[in-house]
A and B are shown apart, each in its own frame.
Chain A
């Protein structure tokens, strides 16, 4: 900053006429104190978003919360507390902060531009009153002293101005303009970050999909289990690529200390980057997403899909498929539902899949290791109407048993068949599935570039000291030359005493640098 630490006193009262009032408001908004308060306000406004569950991250938890808190839940919901970072009041705080920032920084750009092109100010009358001061006498003439000082300062890249006032020759010099440059770059880069985030928010999209081993995925909206996009993203803006999950490898720690913790996830895929294009193998790992047509495919989860064959009472196969079960705990105790609409009557099964089976009185059937060392399923069979024709979309993970009747329960290991009156179900084995998040954010490169720029500007600014120094020389009554040198730090916490000492020595002709 050019100005020394601001000396704002108590704010003057607002003038009454409207132009004056507007100007007053603008000045208040762009003052340092307002910036300070808005920074705090933004920090405080973020807190509820870190304590309450948020729709964007965890919609299920939000629903649970609302169920448990029927009185204040809906009020908080209406006020946007479950979507804090999209709430209008949150936006109001950061938009005000950025308006304040732009209003504050743009004028400073002009001021700084002029300061960089103008000369340092002339030497003050009384140097000994300044922050750091030193004096000496020498046999050199005042002109020699000033020439020495001038050479030294220019060599060390100070901006120098010389002059003569009242028979004293003086040098005035300034250094550290980069401090303000860095500061301005930093603040303006923050605006760029905001813009890049906004672009990503408007044009970006992301979706989640579960793909079983051996199955494919093609990038259209209907294939996603969940998809969300910005206001300007739509079905026809997403690139038409496709991939097949050939194999999904996992490994879990087996030593005592690391039992069950994941060691490796690796999805082998065959990717077709555009319709009709070549199909190439590739690998997707955690931390190693695959980039296709600007979108990134991330591996985010995995689980088991037990395979079943269901036959009706005539022996005809009515279902032969791998069914996605969702993991419920770290050992992949998984639950899922098998729906068989093509049999008469319709059949439905609720199932628990255990990769490594155990059973006890308290927890019932559960898995004790995440890998499939000793798999089994527990099935509960139902017959009746699955309710698929009611027109209300159903989750594939729940069975509506309102119009169904339970037939029985059974545990099966791979290869076993359960024959019941209306047919039979064979548990043939299991596959793995992987879930992918596919994300497209056109603003992220710009956001990164702006963030790097901000950090550079900030670092330059905080590590540069802006300071002024002066040398004055005049002939003393005894004929020798009296040399005075002084300095002033223009930045926080600056110490210019060393600069002053070096300058004085240089003026005497002792150049240590």
Chain B
């Protein structure tokens, strides 16, 4: 490939990233407007009825749908479409970046960050195919946008080839699993945080008005969170094992307590604790939600903290 051609690809990739960010920003504003306007006249009582479900089959995930021509709902629908569009653009950006660099686009923190933002959006969109997640849109698009913003401003690097230690198909397996996990853990933490707010509101016993009225009950949010984590935890386990195999091939030991490895284990332990908490009386509710948030925090510490501040074998990932 000539230099001019390859510069064209890089610029196209960057342009696609900016287009993604613009689209996501509009989506976020619309989600926010929809969220703020969302008032459901339903009361807490209506919920009890659904849950008791006598004579009929109980409906779980979906909050009582608002009337179709509710303006907030329309905004959210547009925002959902824009999120799909933005994810498509981001996919293009990643593919172009990969073609330019001649490898998977996961060679440094910049590339891993945009891939993680992609992971967040994809996990959210895939889940939205089976249930109404418009209430969650704001809380997923915002972190994705933040990640992209950080990537283009602080972390941007020219694409380079991989250093030999990174050339392995275990890298592809290990990192692709980690990217999906990043997405799932983020969506889970958003929903856990919402469940904490919702649970406070429910305990206060006040009427169901205001933005949080369109959000499912705390218990449903907790269930939703735990489903995502039940999906992501085996994947994270797999990702850690793939990383260990890679490390064994590159450095001669599958586990060396390198800071990156240590924090991967810490994240793993926290999510294992979460799954246990969901089966332990007194821990299933808010406490479990806090653990889900803590899990994401440990993941982020591993990603930002260890890459930037700690002297680790993995620090070659280039800022």
Contact = CB atoms under 8 A, between A and B. Distances in A.
Interface of A: 1, 5-9, 32-33, 35-36, 39-40, 42-43, 46-47, 49-51, 53-54, 56-58, 61, 84-85, 128, 131-135, 197, 206, 253, 257-258, 261-265, 285-289, 296, 298, 300, 437-439, 441, 444, 447-448, 451-452, 454-455, 458-459, 462-463, 492-493, 495, 497, 500-501
Contact of B280 (A33, A56, A61): A33
Contacts of B273: 36, 39-40, 43
Interface in B204-245: 223, 226-227, 230-231, 233-234, 237-238, 241, 244-245
A261 B280 contact: no
Contact of B257 (A36, A56, A257): A56
A301 to B, nearest CB: 11
Given A444-B248, A493-B223, A495-B60, A5 B279 contact: yes
B265 interface: yes
Contacts of A36: 273, 276-277, 280, 283
Interface string B241-284: 10011001111111111110011011001101100111111111
Nearest to A437: B252
Interface of B: 53-60, 158-161, 163-165, 167-168, 223, 226-227, 230-231, 233-234, 237-238, 241, 244-245, 248-259, 262-263, 265-266, 269-270, 272-273, 276-284, 298, 306, 310-311
A85 B257 contact: yes
B165 A286 contact: yes
11 contacts: A1-B279, A32-B280, A46-B265, A53-B311, A135-B55, A253-B160, A257-B160, A289-B249, A448-B245, A451-B244, A463-B230
B311 A501 contact: no
Given A40-B270, A46-B269, 8 more contacts: A35-B276, A287-B165, A288-B249, A448-B254, A455-B237, A459-B234, A462-B230, A495-B60
Contacts of A47: 262, 266
Contacts of A459: 234
Nearest to A131: B58
A261 to B, nearest CB: 6
Contacts of A57: 256-258
A452 B262 CA distance: 20
Contacts of A454: 237
Given A7-B281, A9-B281, A458-B234, A286 B167 contact: yes
Given A46-B266, A257-B159, A286-B167, A444 B279 contact: no
B226 A492 contact: yes
Contacts of B254: 441, 444, 447-448
Contacts of B226: 492-493
Contacts of B258: 57
A286 B58 contact: no
Contact of B55 (A46, A133, A300): A133
A133 B53 contact: yes
B286 to A, nearest CB: 15
A54 B259 CA distance: 10
Contacts of B165: 286-287
A1 B280 CA distance: 12
Nearest to A256: B158
Q: Which of A50, A206, A441 has the most CB of B within 10 A?
A: A50
A264 B269 CA distance: 37
Contact of B279 (A50, A128, A287, A492): A492
A493 B56 contact: no
Nearest to A53: B311
A369 to B, nearest CB: 16
Nearest to A47: B266
A437 B272 CA distance: 34
A261 B163 contact: yes
Contact of B57 (A134, A300, A451): A134
9 interchain residue pairs of minimum CB distance: A439-B252, A286-B164, A50-B259, A497-B57, A50-B262, A43-B269, A39-B273, A298-B252, A257-B158
Given A57-B256, A458-B234, A32 B276 contact: yes
Contacts of B245: 448
Contacts of B53: 132-133, 497
A258 B162 CA distance: 10
A32 B263 CA distance: 24
B234 A61 contact: no
B48 to A, nearest CB: 15
A492 B278 contact: yes
B163 A39 contact: no
B168 to A, nearest CB: 5
Contacts of B278: 5, 492
B250 A287 contact: yes
Contacts of A500: 57
A358 B256 CA distance: 38
A290 to B, nearest CB: 11
Nearest to A197: B255
Q: Which of B256, B269, B278 has the most CB of A within 10 A?
A: B269
A287 B256 contact: no
Nearest to B260: A50
Nearest to A128: B54
B266 A263 contact: no
B304 to A, nearest CB: 14
Contacts of A1: 279
A492 B275 CA distance: 10
Contacts of B270: 39-40, 43
A441 B252 CA distance: 9
Contact of A6 (B54, B168, B265, B279): B279
